[in-house]
Every structure is written in structure tokens, then in C-alpha cells.
Structure 1
Amino acid sequence: MSKNIAVVAANGKAGRLIVEEAVNRGMDVTAIVRGENKTKAQHAIIKDLYDLTADDLTGFDAVVDAFGIFDPAKLDEHSTSLKHLADALSGSNTRLLVVGGAGSLYTDEAHTKQLSDSFPDNIKGVPLAMGKALDALRKRDDVHWTYVSPAGDFQADGPRTGKYVLTGEEYTTDADGKSAISYADYAVAMVDEIAADQPHDRERISVRW
């Protein structure tokens, strides 16, 4: 059965590719953007993320949160934006799928160390902020969420191969010790998760080549 989905911050690079992948697979897609819709979505809601209400998001099978921010003065918005969307979807059957980060992936079996622990201090801000947002999301049992982390090397302009390896909470690499995925193949994985008969409900998953 075709899915009816919305993509928040659809005009961003990740958002546009997720929209395109979903449309190409026959899904009914609504882009949620602050200005002109620059995606292939069939419909658009022109609204700021923080102005979205539960009514705006009613009727979707899934809402993809592709919002991202890199301004050091606004990193708390990783948490506040995700909380706003989760609150709007609270108690509904609509899934919330989050375009996450790799920095919070664990590097040990005990899950006491994260990939971001090895980052230089000057680039820790974004991964730590995204990790904090994930920590808050884990406490929500009123929302059907799935957090999707990319590989360590997240390639904006990499190829679409249609192939990827699905992993979980831990940072993994291929046989050559590399952890990479393109935005395009990340979009493939995200749409696969939306379409899944047995979704990863209230779980964090990760994808790499």
C-alpha cells in the first residue's frame, strides 16, 4: 500500500533526496518548507517547523524530520525542534523518522563510548547537540519514532547505488575499515524504513555501505 508522508525541511539536501526517492516509489509526499517548494513533492505546506500543529500532521503515515542546524549559537534547536515535532505527533499512529547524526554511535559493546568522543573539540558541537536530542527522544513512549544515523563519512554528492548495510547502535565499518554512505543511498534506506512491514519502532538504526 502506498504511503502518505511528509518531509520537514524538505528543501535541504537530505530532505530533497528523501522526497525524490519516495516520489519515485509511488508515495504521496508533502514537503514542509518555510518558502517555495523546491522538491519533487506533490504537495507542500508552507510553514515554519515551530508553527506546525498536530492538525497539520494529521493523516500522514510518517513524518520525516530532515531539519538541521549548524550555527553554534543555535545548536539547542536540535532538541527544541525535535521536541516540537514529537509533541505534535504525541499519541498518534504517525511515525516520526529522524535524519540523525553519526557522532552518537557507540564504539564499544558496553555503550559507554561514542564516536564523537574522538572528535576534536572544535567540531564536537553539532554531534553533541544531536546526541542530546536523541537522548531526549529515547524517553518518549508516546511517539512512534525511528532515529536513522548515517555512516561516519556522510557524502552529500555521493552516488546512488541502491545498496547499503543496515546496522544498529554501534559504529561499524566495511572490510576496508571505512564507514561511508551517500545522501542518496541514505535516502534509499530511509524510504525502505518508511515502507517496512516491521519497522524499527522506538529504535535507533544506522546505515553504511
Structure 2
Amino acid sequence: MSAIKMAVVAANGRAGSKIVAEAVNRGIEVTAIVRHQKESPAQHTLIKDLFELTTEDVQDFDVLVDAFGTFTLENLPEHMVSIKHLTDILSHVSTRLLIVGGAGSLYTDKDHRQQLKDSADFPKEALPLARIMSQTLEQLRLRDDVRWTYVSPAANFLADGPRTGHYLLRGEEYSTNSKGESSISYADYAIGLVDEALSGEHIHQRISLIGQ
């Protein structure tokens, strides 16, 4: 077993379940934080709503992964509310917060004035989610009292894509691989996120992951 202790919020979701599986396979002690009991490879389960979590619930973990997501228009503000709650309960706590972020806020220029969501060909149906997640990231950047890392996926985030075992680590700017593609499977994204959980190399930073 790795010495690290990790908890995953929304561990039953598509991203959360991949992260839990990857972490457990890597020898990490994982607690699934879920609203409803469901079969999971996690060694421990905490049944509790995200918005009811307290500092006492999370302060003993080395890493808390926020894999919460909602996609219905009326619930999109919950992204901002959830991050506010998690950062509040982790204020001045040593536990690191890793957030499953979005790609729409990746910058498309060197001056960091234009984001992917501002592109003419950005899918209109994805704009509301991209906007709220971009606003959430900007609020997160103000929190120097929390050891956060925001992990953006590639533009094409493939829920059912294969686990190739490879990914490319990038920073704030939108990028593509050698094939000119910006895509990554949830499974390969989970590898990169768990690597970051183990290394802790990008505190107070946004990183991005793309498939090779």
C-alpha cells in the first residue's frame, strides 16, 4: 500500500469511478465519498452529500479529489458552489484538493486572453458549462489558503475510450499531440491525475492532460 490516503468525491460517477479504480490499482488507500452506496473497488466508503462535508470529514486525507459534475442547465451553478464549499472546509488544512476540471478554459493565445470556449467553432451546447467552469477556476485562483490543483482534460474527453497507459502533461494552453489531436480517455486522464496526487508538483496551478 502507498502511504498516501485519498478520498474521491462523486466516486460513483464516470470520471470518479475511473480515478478510484486507477488509484486502488496503484496501491493507494481510497475512500469513496458518495450519496448512495454502490459497489466500488475503494477500500472505504463515506456516504455523505458533498455539500454536507465538514473539515473533520476530510482533514485526515492527503488528497481529496473532486470529481463532481452536473450538466443540466439549471444545476450548472452547483459547480461554483461545490468548489466554494470544498475550499472553505479545506482552508489552511494540509489536505490537497485535486479538481476534475474542464477544457473550455484552456488558453488559445500566449497572452492568455482568449480561451478555447471563445473559439468560433466551440460547440454551442457546451458553452454554458464551459463558462461556469471557467468562472469557477478564476475563483479558485484566489484561494491561496488551499493546496489546490485544477486538472483540465483534452478538448475531446472520451468516457469510454481505452486505457492506453500514456498521456502528455501540459499547462494552461490548449495543445494537441503529434497527430494534431486533443483527446484523452477518462482512463488515461485518471492515470495523470493519480500521478499528480502522488507527486504534488503543481500546487496552486492548472495543468492539462492529453492523450498521446
Distance in 2 between residues matched to 1:123 and 1:32, nearest whole Å = 27
Distance in 2 between residues matched to 1:63 and 1:138, nearest whole Å = 17
Alignment of structure 1 residues 188-203 onto 2, 5 Å: 188-196=191-199, 198-203=200-205
Distance in 2 between residues matched to 1:50 and 1:159, nearest whole Å = 33
**Which of 143, 162, 171 lines up with 1:159 in the alignment?**
162
Change (3 A) 1:120 1:191: closer
Contact 1:63 1:94 (8 Å CA) reproduced: yes
Deviations 1:119-156 (A, max 9, x none): 24332000111111110000000000000000011010
Deviations 1:71-112 (A, max 9, x none): 101111110001101111110110000000000000000000
Number of corresponding residues: 208
> Gapped runs of 5+ residues in structure 2?
none
**Equivalent residue for 1:106?**
107
Letter of the 2:202 counterpart: H
Distance in 2 between residues matched to 1:75 and 1:37, nearest whole Å = 25
> Gapped runs of 5+ residues in structure 1?
none
**Equivalent residue for 2:118?**
117
Letter of the 1:149 counterpart: S
Aligned CA RMSD, in angstroms, stands at 1.0
Contact 1:151 1:180 (8 Å CA) reproduced: yes
After TM superposition, the score normalised by the length of structure 2 is 0.96
Deviation at 1:15, TM superposition (A): 0.3
Alignment of structure 1 residues 70-149 onto 2, 5 Å: 70-118=71-119, 119-149=122-152
Contact 1:115 1:171 (8 Å CA) reproduced: yes
Deviation at 1:175, TM superposition (A): 2.3
Contact 1:169 1:205 (8 Å CA) reproduced: yes
Distance in 1 between residues matched to 2:58 and 2:141, nearest whole Å = 21
Distance in 1 between residues matched to 2:23 and 2:124, nearest whole Å = 37
After TM superposition, the score normalised by the length of structure 1 is 0.97
**Equivalent residue for 2:7?**
6
Work out whether 1:23 is the aligned partner of 2:39. no
**Equivalent residue for 2:178?**
175
Runs of 4+ in 1 over 4 A off after TM superposition: none
Contact 1:69 1:75 (8 Å CA) reproduced: yes
Distance in 2 between residues matched to 1:94 and 1:37, nearest whole Å = 25
Distance in 2 between residues matched to 1:7 and 1:130, nearest whole Å = 19
